[in-house]
Amino acid sequence: MPFYRPKSFLKLVLIGFALVMLPLIIAVIDAAIRVDRIAEQSQRTVSRAVQVLQGSRTLAVQATDMERYVKQFQVLGDESLFHAYVETHDRFQQVAHNLVAIIRDAAQEQQLAALTTKEQSLFEAVQTHLRSGHRPASLRVAGGGADLWCSGLLGHFCGADLTSHSPN
């Protein structure tokens, strides 16, 4: 079995240098590929975090809007305010549904589930109250006649049960 034998010392040095450099070149290429993968993963993570932040801000704005619509509806009794409340509720539910698909943390998923459950129960209570023929102004939360949302949907859920007081 014949080996390749360089005819000059320079060729021998270059072949030796190439054999020594080959593992280093492979290591540099591997490191570049790994850094690229980490950069892509970081970009996806940051993008997901931005989406969650935007979604949570949207939920906060919509919860505030719903509270405002209900309070205005209580005072004015204008049906357009109630319809705006229902539309905002639908958007709230859609954003919450979209956030469920993005969130990867179990604790955040539980908090979002608690928030949407509380909001849904408030929504159903408002609808039940109004369907039963009560005036909007009689819509209150149990416990001292506090306002319906008791600044609690966003302030870690006030936990009060809704009741309907008889109209005056």
Is residue 64, in this structure, part of any structural domain at all?
yes
Distance from C-alpha of 65 to C-alpha of 149, rounded to nearest angstrom: 11
Is residue 26, in this structure, part of any structural domain at all?
no
Residue found under tokens 């405002």: 68
With CA atoms as reference, report the closest residue to 118 among 86, 150, 145, 91: 150
Residue 74: give the domain boundaries: 53-161
Dihedral of CA atoms 122, 128, 129, 131 in degrees, nearest 10, equals 140
Is residue 23, in this structure, part of any structural domain at all?
no
What pLDDT is stored for residue 76 in this prediction? 84
Helix H or strand E encompassing 163? strand 162-164
Is residue 14, in this structure, part of any structural domain at all?
no
pLDDT in tens, the chain (168 residues): 567 777 888 888 998 899 999 999 999 999 999 999 999 999 999 999 999 999 999 999 999 999 899 888 888 888 898 899 999 999 999 999 999 888 888 888 899 999 999 999 888 888 887 777 666 666 654 333 334 344 444 443 333 333 333 333
What's the total number of domains in the chain?
1
What pLDDT is stored for residue 79 in this prediction? 86
Is residue 93, in this structure, part of any structural domain at all?
yes
Is residue 43, in this structure, part of any structural domain at all?
no
Beta bridge partners of 164: 139
Is residue 77, in this structure, part of any structural domain at all?
yes
Residue 137 has which token pair? 């102004």
What pLDDT is stored for residue 144 in this prediction? 32
What pLDDT is stored for residue 139 in this prediction? 61
Residue found under tokens 């949302």: 149
Is residue 45, in this structure, part of any structural domain at all?
no
Environment class of 23 (CB within 10 Å of its CB; exposed 0-12, middle 13-18, buried 19+): exposed
